[in-house]
Chains A and B, each alone.
Chain A
Amino acid sequence: MTESPLSPDGGPAPGTQGVRFGFFTDTSICIGCEACEVACKEWNGVPDNPVGFSGLSYDNTLDLGANAWRHVAFVERPAADGEPFAWLMASDVCKHCTSAACLEVCPTGAIFGTEFGTVVVQDDVCNGCGYCVTACPYGVIERRASDGGAWKCTLCYDRFKGGQQPACAQACPTDSIQFGPLDELRARAADRAEEVVAAGHPRAQLYGHDPDDGVGGNGAFFLLLDDPEVYGLPPDPVTPTRQIAQMWRTAGVAALAAAVAIVGAVFGDRR
């Protein structure tokens, strides 16, 4: 494709279905302002969920969940081994895994992989069974107490339809949250990671960028300035359903073949 897959508004351009879109969150330029959290809540109508004063640096959101689809972590890293004190900030979000456990375990079809390669919960279908909650290797998706449904980041699926970028990415003052076609983001991130390491952050690393990792790579990946554990991220997430999915694939094809035979028999004359 020679035309940009991005619309003038920075979202998916019309006709780009099939291109996988995602986030690259470059935490080396995150100022921890939490604009992403507010912009997300405003656009998506996410309820407030005040926890008061946590004492965990400036983090009073604490975690991703049904009522926090973006969450900024604040890590005060003491001076050690010749490195000065650092205040690390990172805006976390649903990873939109390639091999998304939440989607695979969902028995109702409430969670689906969109034409943009993102993973979205449909609240009109979700019956609140909660299988997805236990399946998510990142602890992202959660049931909301008030309505029982499971909720998480949709990557602003509705905005995509209008060619707009996700609300958090649009708001992010320093462009720490970058939205775009995943292959472009991955290339950009690889360059950026090299720069940041060279600029004096020896432990800077990409997280969730690798298609060969335990979740098949993430649609939302990160450049971290330290190991993922420092930010409270699992170092080696694995989709628990990975092997199960393989089994189902075989079974599913067989079932479909049978279904087609039936449909063909009933409605064959209409086609």
Chain B
Amino acid sequence: MGSNMAECHPVGFQWVVEAQARGATVFHVDPRFTRTSALADHYVPLRAGSDIAFLGGVVNYILSGDHDFRDYVLAYTNASHVIVDGVALPDDLDGVFSGFDESTRSYDHATWQYGGEDVDIVSAAGRRERVVAEADRVEEGGQAFEGVSIEKGGRIEKDPTLQHPRCVYQLLKRHYARYTPELVADACGVSVEQFRELAQALCDNSGRDRTSVIVYSVGWTQHTTGVQCIRAASIIQLLLGNMGRPGGGILALRGHASIQGSTDIPTLYDLLPGYLPMPSVGRHDTLDSYEQRTSSRKGFWANSRAYMVSLLKAWWGDAATPDNDFCFGYLPRISGDHSAYRTAIDMLDRKVRGYILLGQNPAVGSANSRLHRLALAHLDWLVVRDLTMIESATFWLDGPEIDSGELRPEDIATEVFFLPAAAHVEKDGTFTNTQRVVQWHAKAVEPKGDCRSDLWFTYHLGRRVRAKLAGAGRERDRPVLDLTWEYPMTGLHNEVDAAAVLQEINGWGPQRRPLNGFAELRADGSTACGCWIYSGCYAGGQNATARRVPGSQQSLVAPEWAWAWPANRRILYNRASADPQGRPWSQRKAYVWWDDEAQAWTGHDVPDFPPHLAPDAVPPADAVGVEALAGDDAFIMQADGKGWLWAPAGLVDGPLPTHYEPHESPVRNPVQRRQSSPFREQLPHEHNPTNDASYPFVATTYRVAEHHTAGGMSRHQRRLSELAREMFVEVHPELAALRGLEHGGWATVSSSRSTIEARVLVTERMQPVTVDGRRVHQVGLPYHWGPNGTAPGDAANDLFAIVLDPNVHIQEVKSATCDVTPGRRPRGRKDPG
């Protein structure tokens, strides 16, 4: 659901096909009948943007039929936890949970907390606060991982009978009671029978001997309720006992070679390596205040100071001492949203003057790509590093706005540097795949001409900047001058030795002895580590990411193929693959278990648990950190050791998923009165308008197997361009008839943002749905195309507004509104200005 795996991850899909051969049943729930649907055992069409209504229906089906895996739920989830008096659900409060402040459109989490004595829990997913930064604008205080603790070490009120009206189990039951199969049918445009078939299959496949897996991709994340879609899946998987077990879990199929790595070792404004939060203005003035707000009392987040100090030592070396807070003050402070979309708006407002694009192409690839082109035209300088001449480098030369005459090159003051990049075969380094496996790729040939790696670019840029700033004696330059910036050089072009960088990421102790894992990290400055969760990838001075023991010579878990974070563990939370007593739930599903004789956890994978913590262990009341974990606290990164059916903290937009319509929807919310999420992040701007009701159809974007993302890596090459050369729009025959669209002809697709053209593919695969008695048509738009390359075409992202999920600032491009008319889009020059 939310994934077109066969097209977007074809090689991964081999395992689905293999599972089918072994008897698995595959359901594909998607607005479009895709190549994944073609191979699924059951295809369930649903209206784009109605996922939470559907998933909420599954939760209701499980609970109303008592289908949950009770032994698992009681032991490993917070089902029995009682929420404080004062908690209220959207049914009670007209579409929002308790704690809602209409004026700021934000929540106070106090009434989501666990009851009991001295409990104040914050989430591993972060405390988030809204900061009203300007009178007319609400910004996100989006620092992730802000604290993870039952800070006061209190006792949580629990009811193991699950009868207390405010226990999580009963709240879930009450909240989802209205998500009946009939409501799902109406909200999602599916049949009651199809829905029941799917829900029953999930229930039948739950228990000691059976599991189900849920696969999603950006079909879930690219909504204003994206995070809550995934939350809904995690509720289902916890209720059915599918987390931490082989053949279970929620698989996020990420879209790019190292998109997982880009979050682990983030180039994201709100994170430092290993999901440590970037310090915030006023909240993290000192290392102590940072630790207070980021570390937990229980579990592995208790050591966050060690992780942070080791990072500071990796960056500032000898300059980082206990006396200067290990240079903690060198880190810049964030305040509110500094994400890429906010940054684009700030370019238009001339607040941001320079920009460096490292293999990214917002002029085609970001929502409202027209706005991004206009934003780039407002910069003083722009650096573009890529393999080919992408649209973000040529917007001033021949972009759509130049073609239309809206902009003229002479009026665009942006200075543009295009630096050709090295391809992956021209450099050493690691990618982290969607399963957290960190895999080394070795350089095969030297890059030609001026092509260089981004490692080369960053290192030598840093070297030059440091040389230019040296000697100025300014306080503000100390962080960059004190930076550890000495790396061994290799190759023809003075390339940084990537292995040396990986060793710094792995970390070292005294005498630069490589660390074996994050358990060795210390807060006293004796260890340095660039990313704590990657510690161990270079244990013993050996590059474990380069291991290539063939799969045929290993167990199915294949632990000697490359290296997975953390600690080479392939399934997270795998303590839950054993029952509370530490025995496999069933022999068929045995994965990790307690060996009584050895008094240790063992199994096919690296146990995700303290190795000698017995299943029946009860921690002393005053224990902290890892010692505070009980033998059945399978979810060791959570502050209470339990999987969260209910999120007592951590999310901006509610403790449970509740259905809101997309920002733009032709449908009235069939579940509750509040139409769209009041928490969605809008960036009001003249170039970012919202469609009015005159755009009657649902527009959704996607990929096809033949291209990659916004086309920068596929539209410029002949093989893939041959297979899918022209931009097309997919419509159902009914919509084609309604609008007079001719199969194979041209259509113009429009929104209040922009107008594009595409070839028409009339197909029954693009199904309309009937909601509230109305026929709702959906328009399918692959987003691979842009004006440059061997296979040029208009960019679907031009049509979409920038409106974001408030937790993670991801755009809603899976469901918006549009209109479609026959023929090509208007051409000809407008008057500049």
Contacts and interface: CB of A to CB of B under 8 A. Distances in A.
Do A and B originate from a single complex?
yes
Interface of A: 29, 31-35, 37-38, 41-42, 48-53, 55, 57-58, 60-61, 76, 78-79, 84-89, 173-175
B35 A29 contact: no
Interface string B729-752: 000000000000001100000000
Given A87-B35, A173-B13, A48 B718 contact: yes
A42 B10 contact: no
B745 to A, nearest CB: 9
Nearest to A52: B725
B721 interface: yes
A35 B10 contact: yes
Nearest to B742: A55
B463 to A, nearest CB: 39
A109 B519 CA distance: 71
Interface string B702-728: 001110000000000011111111101
25 contacts: A29-B17, A31-B6, A31-B13, A31-B36, A31-B38, A31-B39, A31-B705, A32-B705, A33-B705, A38-B720, A41-B719, A48-B719, A50-B725, A51-B725, A55-B759, A57-B763, A58-B724, A60-B722, A60-B723, A61-B722, A61-B723, A76-B765, A85-B33, A173-B10, A173-B14
A33 B761 CA distance: 18
Given A33-B7, A34-B723, 15 more contacts: A31-B7, A33-B35, A38-B719, A38-B720, A38-B723, A48-B721, A50-B718, A53-B759, A55-B744, A55-B761, A57-B761, A79-B764, A84-B43, A87-B37, A174-B10
Contacts of B135: none
B11 interface: yes
Contacts, number: 91
Contacts of B719: 38, 41-42, 48
Nearest to A28: B39
Interface range for B: 35 or more
Nearest to B36: A31
Contacts of B35: 31-33, 87, 89
Interface in B34-62: 35-39, 43
* Secondary structure type dominating chain B contacts: mixed
Contacts of B726: 52-53
A146 B688 CA distance: 50
B724 A60 contact: yes
A29 B39 contact: yes
Contacts of A31: 6-7, 10, 13, 35-36, 38-39, 705
Contacts of B37: 87
Contact of A50 (B10, B722, B743): B722
Interface in B192-212: none
B201 to A, nearest CB: 16
A196 to B, nearest CB: 11
Contacts of A50: 718, 721-722, 725
In order of increasing CB-CB distance, the 8 nearest A-B pairs are A55-B744, A53-B726, A87-B38, A31-B6, A173-B10, A33-B10, A33-B705, A48-B718
Given A57-B763, A61-B723, A87-B765, A34 B744 contact: no
A140 B636 CA distance: 60
Contacts of B728: 53
Nearest to B727: A53
A209 B36 CA distance: 28
A261 B682 CA distance: 93
A42 B11 CA distance: 18
A7 B744 CA distance: 47
Contacts of A60: 722-725
A52 B760 CA distance: 13
Contacts of B725: 50-53, 60
A85 B39 contact: no
Nearest to B790: A50
B706 A34 contact: yes
A4 to B, nearest CB: 14
Interface in B765-779: 765
Contacts of A89: 35, 38
Nearest to A199: B41
Nearest to B550: A8
Contacts of B6: 31-33
Contact of B764 (A32, A33, A76): A76
Given A31-B38, A175-B17, A49 B761 contact: no
